[in-house]
């Protein structure tokens, strides 16, 4: 029995019902997660480019858009254990270009940019409260990396009772094995997966 069959036999991998109002969460599409010399590479640039029209679609419908960036204090005072495991995270200081959202997805006034220090966009941030204030019950997730901040954000989203959708061509990773493996896990257990071309159905 292959892996997919095992999950099907346990009745996993089904679809979550559609929400009433969906926000777009763009996770860590910052310069440092595109650049292969920092934390990028693989298909992260392609994913960022595929997110441009998705962002435009959400804006055109006046649906909420939230960006995230990992940011540590210049003096490193809020760097924790994760920075021990992944030491170059410390480079993502407020003043470093590596921590800034990429130009092609530049946030507009009114679009919140969440500052975070951990993988999940919900962890120790006001993202959950903010989404509730916006009357949102579903999130569509783009960003990098699939196996890191995207996965952690999606797991927290469903845990907090938001309906998560992963836009498969809008999430990217430095290495394709983990990218695919995490898409598998999210499809089986935590989210609906759609391509950006299927977006209209999601938002209708």
- Active-site annotation, residues: 149
Binder of a copy of itself out of 60, 109, 201, 204 (CB under 8 A): 109
Binder of a copy of itself out of 62, 95, 161, 201 (CB under 8 A): 161
Q: How many residues in the shown chain lie near a copy of itself by CB under 8 A?
A: 70
- Using the contact rule CB under 8 A, the part of the chain among 47-55, 94-102, 183-191, 193-201 near a copy of itself is 183-191
Count other Cβ atoms within 10 Å, centred on residue 183. Answer: 20
Q: Which is nearer to a copy of itself, 27 or 191 (CB)?
A: 191
Nearest residue to 157 (alpha-carbon basis) of 195, 113, 122: 122
Question: In sequence order, which residues have a C-beta less than 8 Å from that of residue 61 and are 6 or more positions away?
Answer: 203
Are residues 196 and 50 in contact, defined by beta-carbon separation less than 8 angstroms?
Answer: yes
Binder of a copy of itself out of 63, 93, 128, 202 (CB under 8 A): 128
**β strands within 111-199, DSSP E:** 113-116, 138-144, 163-172, 192-194
95 binds a copy of itself (CB under 8 A): no
Sign of CA dihedral 12, 203, 58, 130: negative
Residue 155 to residue 132: CA distance in whole angstroms = 17
29 binds a copy of itself (CB under 8 A): no
Residue 202 to residue 204: CA distance in whole angstroms = 6
Residues that bind a copy of itself in the complex, under the rule CB under 8 A = 3, 6-7, 10-12, 14, 16-17, 20, 38-39, 41-42, 73, 75, 77-78, 80-82, 84-88, 109-113, 115, 117-120, 123-126, 128-130, 132-133, 135, 137, 147-148, 152, 155-156, 158-163, 174-178, 181-182, 184-185, 189-191
């Amino acid at each position: 029995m292959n892996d997919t069959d095992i999950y099907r036999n346990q009745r996993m991998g089904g679809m979550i019902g559609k929400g009433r109002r969906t926000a777009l969460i763009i996770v860590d599409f910052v310069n440092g997660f595109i650049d292969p010399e920092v934390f990028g590479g693989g298909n992260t640039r392609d994913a960022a480019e595929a997110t441009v029209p998705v962002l435009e679609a959400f804006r055109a419908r006046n649906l909420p858009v939230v960006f995230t960036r990992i940011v540590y204090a210049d003096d490193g005072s809020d760097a924790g254990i994760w920075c021990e495991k992944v030491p170059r995270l410390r480079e993502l200081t407020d003043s470093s270009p590596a921590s800034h959202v990429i130009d092609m997805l530049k946030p507009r006034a009114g679009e919140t940019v969440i500052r975070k220090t951990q993988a999940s966009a919900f962890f120790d941030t006001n993202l959950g409260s903010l989404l509730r204030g916006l009357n949102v019950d579903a999130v569509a997730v783009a960003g990098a990396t699939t196996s890191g901040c995207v996965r952690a954000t999606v797991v927290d989203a469903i845990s907090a009772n938001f309906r998560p959708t992963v836009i498969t061509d809008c999430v990217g990773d430095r290495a394709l094995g983990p990218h695919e493996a995490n898409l598998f896990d999210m499809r089986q257990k935590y989210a609906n997966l759609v391509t950006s071309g299927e977006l209209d159905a999601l938002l209708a």
